[in-house]
Amino acid sequence: MSIASQIDFFNTELAGTAARLVVVTKTHAVDKLQEVYAAGSRIFGENRAQEMAEKHPQLPPDVEWHLIGHLQTNKARYIAGFVHTVQSIDSLRLLQELDRQAARHGRVILGLLQFHIAQEAAKTGLSRAEADEILASAAFRALRHVRLTGVMGIATFTDDAAQVRAEFATLRGHFEHLKATYFADDAGFRELSMGMSGDYALALAEGSTLVRVGSAIFGAR
């Protein structure tokens, strides 16, 4: 199965839904990313800042780079000059550092708040109370170079479809709460990033707008 035919498959799956495809290119060499680009995809997901920074100059400038892995504040500077969206925002401190770095480049970085929705303790992300604390703060409202456009979450890795769907429904609930409470007048707050190779169909059923697919396109890592 070629990369191009797998991307065609996902574009067909997403046709008629609200969702766009994030091709998760982490660990793959630049020639594979060029194949993805040639197949027409423009949203690339990487989980490490340094790896993204190395690949970025080797791809055309119209790629939308999304960081989907945990970002340490001291690594934000590697990607601040070009990253489109940081999907994995999990603290006010990270928002403040991204704001500072984006300002140095005279640009605005988009962000998603990552929520903890899985049962596994290992998966990171905010609780609703933590997100409320960030969004209600004067420190958040003072930021001018980061703009939140939605939420992201990773479901439990399990065959139990009912559980995964319930976790996606929980994330949608967080999105709707934040939208109503803090972003009612902001049409730009509209992204619900959920769904990966194994669970994207359940995520689409719950209203995903960004599905992040790696292994189903490239083969197992």
Ligand X SMILES: *Cc1c(COP(=O)(O)O)cnc(C)c1O
Binding site for ligand X (CB under 6 A): 24, 26, 47, 68-69, 154, 196-198, 212-216
> Please, what is the minimum distance in Å from the beta carbon of residue 116 to ligand X?
13
Query: Which pair of tokens denotes residue 163?
Result: 């559980």
Least CB distance to ligand X at residue 142 (A): 29
Could you tell me which of 101, 181, 188 has the C-alpha nearest to residue 150? 188
User: Based on CB atoms, which residue is closest to ligand X, 42 or 100?
Assistant: 42
Min dist CB 101 to ligand X, Å, is 22
Q: How far is the CB of 157 from ligand X (least distance, A)?
A: 9
Buried b (16+ CB within 10 A) or exposed e, 199-217: bbebbbebbbbbbbbbebb
Q: Measured between alpha carbons, how far is 212 from 22 in angstroms, rounded to an integer?
A: 5
Pick the closer one to ligand X by CB: 120 or 186.
Answer: 120
CA–centroid distance for 68 within its chain? 5
Closest CB 207 distance from ligand X, rounded Å: 17
Position closest to ligand X via CB? 214
Closer residue to ligand X in complex, CB, 63/152: 152
Nearest-angstrom CA–CA distance, 175 and 84 = 20
Cβ proximity to ligand X: between 91 and 197 the closer is: 197
Whose Cβ is closer to ligand X: residue 81's or residue 198's?
198
- In angstroms, the CA 135 to CA 140 distance is 6
Q: How far is the CB of 136 from ligand X (least distance, A)?
A: 27
Q: What is the DSSP string of 57-105?
A: GGS-TT-EEEE-S---GGGHHHHTTT--EEEEE--HHHHHHHHHHHHHT
Count Cβ atoms below 10 Å from residue 219 Cβ, excluding itself. 11
Instruction: Indicate the residue among 10 and 189 with the shorter CB distance to ligand X.
Output: 10
